[in-house]
Chain A
Amino acid sequence: MKRLTALLLAPLLSATAYADINVGISLSTTGPGASLGIPERNTVRMLPAEIAGEKVNYIVLDDATDSTAAAKNARKLVGENKVDLMIGSTTVPTSSAMAQIARENGTPLIVLAPLAPQGEEKAWVFTIPQTNELMADALVEHMQAQQVKTLGFIGYSDAWGDDWYKVLGEQGPAAGIQLTSNERFNRTDASVSGQVLKVLASRPDAVLIGATGTPAALPHTELRRLGYKGAIYHTHGAANQAFLRIGGKALEGAILPVGPVVIWDKLPAEHPSKALAAEYAQNYEKVNGPNSLSPFGAYLYDAAQLLKAAAPQALAKAKPGSAEFRSALREAMENAKGVVGTHGVYNLSADDHFGHDQRGRTLVTVQDQKWVLLDSAQ
């Protein structure tokens, strides 16, 4: 019901006066991206209702994980709702569609998928999630320490799998790690035995599974069922509770990089994200039930932190609802420094619209179906 009211309220909110700050959010709450998009939508009600004394209105739309619908949503948000900022979308292809419209209309866009915009789009687009490079770097470092020389790869037959294979192909050989296989599967495949057998036939020291959420557990359980003994690595896309539930005992010892929010209760006290991550996680689980925390919802929360940090400067220059305000907001976000989020600390610049550093990642392993910091596990 809560989800429904959020969607039903959206058109009402859009009719409000222009003096408020209007934020248009387009998420993939249905379709293949739903597992990531739903926790994002659940986070909307936790976003600040007021920033620097100005009321903030959030208009939430669903793009059904469809690039065409995402572009349509973005046009509607920019044209009809005259939003000051767009946030979205959940996956790389849908985000890419929104980025194009953000540039055309001069509206800043905060993306919740690891999209690396190129050319002119880069000026208007900011990306919250950690880049695959940053995460792969931590994994490759760990592999090197564990004397891994050969690595098997099995991933999605989509942009997520492609990008991880590309990143590993760049970073792996530099660290003396050879990729031995490039197998692909689909989220809803009934069986991955063929791919897993091919990976096993290449006899790798370790295997990396480039998938997200629950589908990432299927190749893992299959590898263990067929007697694979080596280490199995995952990407940060896999880090949700449903992944742990469905993988069960087979996931024991899996290694993956995560944003700090996933292990908020185990972070050292001096970690900059600890307080905010704890606040977000506890609030989220209070409403959505225990073990419902997902790193993806936290990305939206971080996007709001960035807005909160940048809005006062933009408000000093222009009124919301004007092109000047949007431009000032873009500039303020580009120069935001030391913005603390649940996923680390963001330091943005004209060259870097990601802004993450080492504080945005932690390696964890699975013990007794729970996340455990890798340092304490060894």
Chain B
Amino acid sequence: MDFAILTFLAQDGLTTGAIYALIALAIVLVFAVTRVILVCQGDFVAFSALTLATLQAGEVPGTLWLLLGGAALVCAKDIVTAVRRRHAARIPLHLLTHLSLPLLLWALLGNLDLANLHGALKVLLTLAIVIPLGPIFYRLVYQPAAQASVLLLLILSVALHSMLVGLGLWLFGAEGFRTLPFTDSSFMLGDAMIGGQNLLVIGIALLLIVALYLFFGHSLYGKALRATAFNRNGAQLVGIPTELAGSSAFFLAALIGACSGILIGPITTLYYDSGFLISLKGFVAAIIGGLASYPLAAGGAFLVGLIESFASFWASAYKEVIVFTLVIPVLLWLSLTTHHVEEEH
């Protein structure tokens, strides 16, 4: 193994590691705030890449129908609650808040000349379609069971994921897609070739991580989310609406997932069911951070990426085994060093 191969593998590992880091952060964030293990985090990644690829092919992406259907259900749910509580005056407000964005997107996609649209606008459209799915899933699937046990929430997650994989096959078909690269540039660093696209992925991932850090550390909204994560009941007592916190956590998770999808789309081929493996790797990283620590999870993600990259060079047939075996020593270490805290308190 010479220096060129070493740098190339490291570069490859850090790039996938950056994506896993984003996924891991989203998983930790959602778990901390809502106690949900978000199995479908990877599906946001796959769906956003596939949505962008469909837009680039000049067609209307199937996720638009998912968004319209989901928004209509949430809206119906709110209207039913409003009628039951005799707040009929709120119905127009519900219609406006839930349906305006999806209908606007529908009108836009129906009338725009998609084939000749600027690339950046397609990225924005993709984000606008995929990100609202996060809060929609929370409102429809998790909020009614917000007080349930972690196990029940996990079962809901698995069910949601299976449903999304089925819908993905229906909406996008079984074949893989690749989005257009943002940049074809590459430059030589000594003997090693560094790809511009790889640098872009790592750069934007780091930027997002810093932005999340600032959001949680220095904004009132972020602090409220952290408070909910720390102690749900306490947060409620000081006037933080925990339902809003759940929606916000899912919004951020979908945002991170959609960005990851757009970043990874040009590097690899993505399929309707690619999300699960990406979720699992992110989950391994999140476990390294004990499902609680953001920096440890991000570090774990880069470790997973690097191990995966080098394992695919040394022993490609055992690559997944090597990556997932990593969980065992970490779990052993965690169970030996931390004392068990009862979940319901």
Residues of A whose CB lies within 8 Å of any CB of B are 30-32, 34-35, 37-38, 157, 182-195, 197-198, 201, 213-215, 217-218, 240, 242, 245-246
A193 to B11 CA separation, bound complex (whole angstroms): 10
A197-B9, A198-B316 in contact; A246/B178 too (CB < 8 A)?
yes
- Least CB distance from B188 to A in Å reads 13
Q: A186-B277, A194-B309, A214-B175 are in contact. List 15 more A-B contacts (CB 8 A).
A: A157-B317, A188-B277, A189-B312, A191-B16, A191-B267, A191-B308, A193-B309, A194-B311, A195-B312, A201-B1, A213-B175, A214-B271, A218-B269, A240-B175, A245-B175
Contact B175 A188 (CB under 8 A): no
Partner of B175 from A157, A201, A246 at Cβ < 8 Å: A246
Question: B313 touching A197 by the CB < 8 A rule?
Answer: yes
**Interface stretch of the complex, out of B103-111, B166-174, B233-241, B245-253:** B166-174
B162 to chain A, nearest CB (A): 11
Q: Considering the complex, give the chain A residue whose CB is closest to the CB of B6.
A: A197
**Are the CB atoms of B278 and A157 closer together than 8 Å?**
no
- Residue among B178, B268, B271, B276 making CB contact with A191, cutoff 8 Å: B268
Residues of A within 8 A of B44 (CB): none
From known contacts A190-B278, A246-B175, infer whether A195 and B316 are also in contact, taking CB-CB under 8 Å. Answer: yes
B148-189, CB under 8 A of A: which get 1 and which 0?
000000000000000000100100011111100000000000
B254 within 8 A of A: no
Q: How many A-B residue pairs have CB under 8 A?
A: 96
Across the interface, which residues of A come within 8 angstroms of B12, CB to CB? 191, 193-194
Q: How far is the CA of A186 from the CA of B311 in the complex (A)?
A: 13
- In the complex, the answer to whether A195 meets B175 with C-beta atoms within 8 Å is no
Q: What 1/0 flags go to B32-50 for Cβ under 8 Å of A? A: 0000000000000000000
- In the assembled complex, the Cα of A246 lies from the Cα of B271 at a distance in Å of 12
Query: For the complex, what is the distance from the CA of A218 to the CA of B267, rounded to whole Å?
Result: 10
Q: Are A197 and B5 in contact (CB under 8 A)?
A: yes
Within 8 A of A (CB), among B223-272: 264, 267-269, 271
The answer to whether B8 has its CB under 8 Å from any CB of chain A is: yes
Q: Specify the chain B residue showing the minimal Cβ separation from A35.
A: B174
Are B173 and A38 in touch, CB under 8 angstroms?
yes
Judged by a CB distance under 8 angstroms, whether B216 is at the interface is no
A188 B169 Cβ-Cβ under 8 A: no
16 contacts between A and B (CB under 8 A): A30-B166, A34-B169, A35-B174, A184-B319, A187-B271, A188-B273, A188-B276, A191-B15, A192-B312, A193-B12, A194-B319, A197-B5, A201-B5, A214-B271, A246-B177, A246-B178
* C-alpha gap A198/B12 in the complex (Å): 14
In the complex, which residues of chain B have a beta carbon less than 8 angstroms from the beta carbon of A242?
A: 175-176
Cβ-defined contact, A193 with B9, below 8 A:
yes
Instruction: State the Cβ distance, A7 to closest chain B Cβ, in Å.
Output: 12
Any A CB within 8 A of the CB of B19: yes
Q: Tell me the complex Cα distance, A192–B1, Å.
A: 17
For A217, list chain B residues within 8 Å (CB): 269
**Nearest residue, chain A, Cβ from B193:** A226
Tell me, yes or no, whether B78 is within 8 Å of chain A by CB.
Answer: no
Looking at B16, B276, B313, which has the most chain A CB atoms within 10 Å of its CB?
A: B313
Contacts of A185 in B (CB 8 A): 312, 316
Please, which residues of chain B bring their CB within 8 A of the CB of A198?
313-314, 316
